[in-house]
Amino acid sequence: MENKTNGSVEAKLVAENGQLPDPADWAFTDVVNYFKAAGFDEQATAFQDQEIDGKSLLLMTRNDVLTGLSIKLGPALKIYEYHVKPLQTQHLKMVSVYETKQGF
């Protein structure tokens, strides 16, 4: 998912099929760009400061987002409910489809 020239992706992260690329492959700059594109410029710096990459993002719990990033409660709730949780669900669906195709 990284752009080879600068290590980050465009603000629009939509893949050809209309879905986001698998977050497990995102560098922390991709995570930061995702949240900036979603309108969380100020909060995106928390992900940058903590160097949260895609794999780390997929492991985050609600509590991690609400307390571990030191961001205000309102934005933290929105980030988790409308972004982190859906990305985790998308990733699990992608893994499930892959495993089904592979015969696991």
Q: What is the pLDDT of residues 42-75, one digit of tens each?
A: 999 999 999 999 999 999 999 999 999 999 999 9
39-44 LR contacts (CB < 8 Å, sep 24+): 40/75, 40/78, 40/79, 42/71, 42/75, 43/69, 43/71, 43/75, 43/76, 43/79
pLDDT in the model for residue 8: 36
**Mean pLDDT across 25-53:** 97
pTM as predicted: 0.79
Q: What pLDDT, on the 0 to 100 scale, is given for residue 5?
A: 32
Per-residue model confidence (pLDDT) at position 14 = 57
- How far apart, in whole angstroms, are the C-alpha atoms of residue 81 and residue 97? 23
Kindly tell me if the per-residue pLDDT of 83 is higher than 90.
Answer: yes
∠ CA 91-97-100, nearest 5°, is 140
Q: What is the pLDDT of residue 19?
A: 72
64 vs 67: CA distance, rounded Å: 6
Answer whether 23's CB lies under 8 Å from 91's CB: yes
Q: What domains, with CATH codes, occur in the chain?
A: 23-102 (1.10.150.50)
Q: What is the pLDDT of residue 95?
A: 84
Question: Percent of the chain beyond pLDDT 90?
Answer: 69
For residue 18, pLDDT beyond 50: yes
